[in-house]
Amino acid sequence: MDKQDLTPPETIRKLLEYNPATGKLFWRERSTEFFNDGKRSAETACRCWNARHAGKEAFTADHGDGYRHGRILDRVYFAHRVIWALTHGEWPVDQIDHINGVKDDNRIKNLRAVTHQENSKNQKLRDTNTSGHVGVCWYEQTRKWQARIRVNGRCVHLGYFVRKDDAIDARKAAEVEYDYHPNHGRV
- The tally of domains found in the chain comes to 2
pLDDT in tens, 64-114: 889 999 999 889 999 999 999 999 999 999 999 999 999 999 999 999 999
Distance set, CA 139 to CA 74, 163, 183 (Å): 51, 12, 26
Query: Are residue 114 and residue 164 in the same domain, yes or no?
Result: no
pLDDT in tens, 159-172: 999 999 999 999 99
Looking at the domain assignment, is residue 33 inside a domain?
A: yes
Query: Are residue 35 and residue 71 in the same domain, yes or no?
Result: yes
Q: What percent of the chain has pLDDT over 90?
A: 83
Instruction: Annotate the chain with DSSP letters as a single string.
Output: --GGGSPPHHHHHHHEEEETTTTEEEEPPPPGGG---SSS-HHHHHHHHHHHHTTSEE--EE-SSS-EEEEETTEEEEHHHHHHHHHHSS--SSEEEETTS-TT---GGGEEEE-HHHHTTS-BPPTT-SSSSTTEEEETTTTEEEEEEEETTEEEEEEEESSHHHHHHHHHHHHHHTT--TTTTB-
Query: Are residue 53 and residue 110 in the same domain, yes or no?
Result: yes
Query: Are residue 135 and residue 112 in the same domain, yes or no?
Result: no
Query: Are residue 40 and residue 130 in the same domain, yes or no?
Result: no
- CA nearest to 25, candidates 71, 66, 63, 64: 71
Query: Are residue 49 and residue 68 in the same domain, yes or no?
Result: yes
With cut-offs at 50, 70 and 90, classify the pLDDT of residue 187.
Answer: confident
Phi, psi torsion values for 126, nearest 5 degrees? -70, 150
Looking at the domain assignment, is residue 93 inside a domain?
A: yes
With cut-offs at 50, 70 and 90, classify the pLDDT of residue 41.
Answer: confident
Looking at the domain assignment, is residue 184 inside a domain?
A: no
Query: Are residue 136 and residue 166 in the same domain, yes or no?
Result: yes
Domain encompassing residue 140: 125-177
Looking at the domain assignment, is residue 34 inside a domain?
A: yes
Q: Classify residue 163 as exposed, middle or buried by CB count within 10 Å of its CB (0-12, 13-18, 19+).
A: exposed
CATH of the domain at 99: 3.90.75.20
pTM score: 0.84
